[in-house]
Structure 1
């Protein structure tokens, strides 16, 4: 009788009961690649470029090489399915600031709170481990559901970049939002 060795578990950097965040692995190309072609995801993120599987593979290989960014995949606890990504980018040590980006891949996973959970984990990591003072994001004005979610988490609107995105024959505004460390602590830390 032969014994099967269980597959090694992928490291789970951050987690809640429903989701976990983990680093990219080179084997993630097949799971990550299709999400780049989801029409609604492309609209919400303003993605206009297309990518080859080879380009995505190189992107994943290099994801951990840049000290100014932390890119993590969002996966479901119950079946390990990758449902999106969250990233701290442009981390600036002197200013203690960064930009956060998040995307949930398909409509079936959107509107269920997974993005808010992942973002909350990343904010806690950014403010608590990376010692950031300010985390900002940009969202297109037509993405009202995301704006409400960001405001519910405590992000504040700072301004509007008018006609910042040309997509599907129209210009769209981009809303700049941010959260400061003390605002996060007051809202999300007990005690």
Structure 2
């Protein structure tokens, strides 16, 4: 599937990010039933197309959240989504989440590039001080990527997720603005 809207909001070398619109509800709905992505994100709920449309309408009005498609530049194909959520201007903080929807697009650096684009926006434009995320302990690939990008582990929420007859830990990680700038904006 390619996206009809080819405009970009944040652009990298291989991917660009653009808002997920209400008109994208059919395509977004289709991403919610990939068994591997549901496991990695701990998603248990079933969603109707109506619920997805309503969710996207609400996201469009929510100033504390930015939900974007991750789109391959060479094909204009949406391969995932990323969201800066719970944006708190008083504390200059937010959460971030990401999902690459198909195994064929994982492990190619697209998620890392999308995270860097969103972090650059968060710290360089939105003037945030802290961005945090939660990742389940069994998602070792994501943990490796987050550490490589510069997130630091802060703690473990024990038995935070019950999924497929077992409990799993959730790992809290974060990055601060000075850590981001030190890692990515060093002058030669």
Q: Is the 8 A contact 2:6 2:76 kept in 1?
A: no
Partner of 2:152: 156
CA distance in 1, matches of 2:71, 2:52: 18
Which runs of no fewer than 5 residues in structure 2 stay unpaired? Answer: none
Q: Secondary structure at the match of 2:91?
A: coil
Q: Which residue of 1 aligns with 2:40?
A: 44
Partner of residue 147, structure 1: 143
User: Greater CA deviation, 72-81 or 173-182?
Assistant: 72-81
1:126 counterpart = 2:101 = no
- Residue 113 of structure 1 is matched in structure 2 by 109
Structure showing greater radius of gyration is 1
Question: Is the Cα contact below 8 Å between 1:11 and 1:23 reproduced in 2?
Answer: no
Partner of 2:93: 97
TM-aligned CA deviation for residue 14 of structure 1: 0.4
TM-score, normalising length: structure 2: 0.95
Q: Distance in 1 between matches of 2:168 and 2:146?
A: 19
SS at match of 2:167: strand
Indicate the residue corresponding to 2:79 in structure 1.
Answer: 83
Distance 2:64 2:21 in 1: 19
On the 8 A contact 2:21/2:60 being kept in 1, the answer is no
Q: Deviations over 1:4-36 (max 9, x none)?
A: xxxx84431101121110011222122221110
**Alpha-carbon spacing, 1:51–1:9, altered in 2? closer, same or farther (3 Å):** closer
Q: In structure 1, list runs of 5 or more residues that go unmatched.
A: 1-7
Q: CA RMSD in A?
A: 1.4
TM-score by length of structure 1 reads 0.93
| Cα separation, partners in 2 of 1:12 and 1:170, compared to 1, 3 Å | same
Cα distance, 1:46 vs structure 2: 0.1
